[in-house]
Structure 1
Amino acid sequence: MAKKLVIKVTAGADAPERCSQAFTVAAVAVASGVEVSLWLTGESSWFALPGRAAEFDLPHAAPLPDLIDSVMSAGRITLCTQCAARRDISEQDVIPGVRIAGAQVFVQEATTEGVQALVY
């Protein structure tokens, strides 16, 4: 059975340690061969936009752009449909490779047999 991890991150610059933990866990999981689906919701939604991750700074943490690149290399990043709409973010605005999808897709991914889900 393949390992899969679905991570939903709600925190952004408003809660930098929680935000960084989510991206770090996702990147480490990808590096460990785990299939990762990282969902950006709430304030983390802004990191779907080019250049926004470079503005994030947390001492003693890996740079957020590097973590995003790691996740994108072998995992998937999804921006919540409603969160995108509330911030006027469209598919044309996001980093190439980031998809926009809603709760139905999240529930489908998170409830698949053998999947572990984490929320930050």
Structure 2
Amino acid sequence: MGRALVIKATAGADGPERCNQAFTVAAAAVASGLPVSLWLTGESAWFALPGRAAEFRLAHATPLEDLLATVLAGGRVTLCTQCAARREIGPDDVIPGVRIAGAPTFVEEISGEGVQALVY
């Protein structure tokens, strides 16, 4: 098995190609059998809410809601604590399977042996 991936998505509709790339890489890694943790930060925080990924459109790209479903099914999805608070998103608001956690958890994940962190 290859290394584990921790992928931080920092863009949403404000950077659609960068956003889609983060979700595409995360879903491809899950499909390849790698351990994956996808972090939703900045404007990508909105995709932790039900229905928001379905609203995202990018030509010639797999629908974001499908990519997110793949990651939720085989990996872990985390919404940044501060990003959630700034957008008034609470634990009861998010899609089932999405957790809210902060920088200490992120640092713990990226500090593991054999972990590769990617930021988009």
The TM tier, using the shorter chain, reads over 0.9
Measured in 2, the distance between the counterparts of 1:47 and 1:53 equals 5
Alpha-carbon distance in 1 for matches of 2:3, 2:112: 11
1:3-22 correspondence to structure 2 within 5 Å: 3-22=3-22
Q: One-letter code of the match for 1:53?
A: A
Amino acid at match of 2:18: R
Q: Distance in 1 between matches of 2:2 and 2:81?
A: 27
Counterpart in 2 of 1:36? 36
The structure 1 segments of at least 4 consecutive aligned residues displaced by more than 3 Å after TM superposition are none
How far off its partner does 1:111 sit? 1.0
Match for residue 54 of structure 2? 54
Distance 1:109 1:94 in 2: 21
Which residue identity is paired with 1:5? L
Is 1:85 the counterpart of 2:85? The answer is: yes
Cα RMSD (Å) of the superposition? 0.9
Note the alpha carbon deviations across 1:30-55, whole angstroms, 9 max, x for none: 00000000000000000000000011
Aligned sequence identity (%): 74
- For 2:68 and 2:91, locate their aligned partners in 1 and report how far apart those are by CA, in whole Å: 17
| TM superposition score normalised by structure 1 | 0.98
Task: Report the CA distance between 1:28 and its aligned residue.
Answer: 0.2
Q: Secondary structure at the match of 2:69?
A: helix
SS of equivalent to 1:26: helix
What residue ranges of structure 2 are gaps of 5+ in the alignment? none
Aligned length: 120
TM-score by length of 2: 0.98
Structure 1's unaligned 5+ residue stretches are none
The 2-side partners of 1:2 and 1:105 are apart by 22
- Residue identity opposite 1:15 in structure 2: G
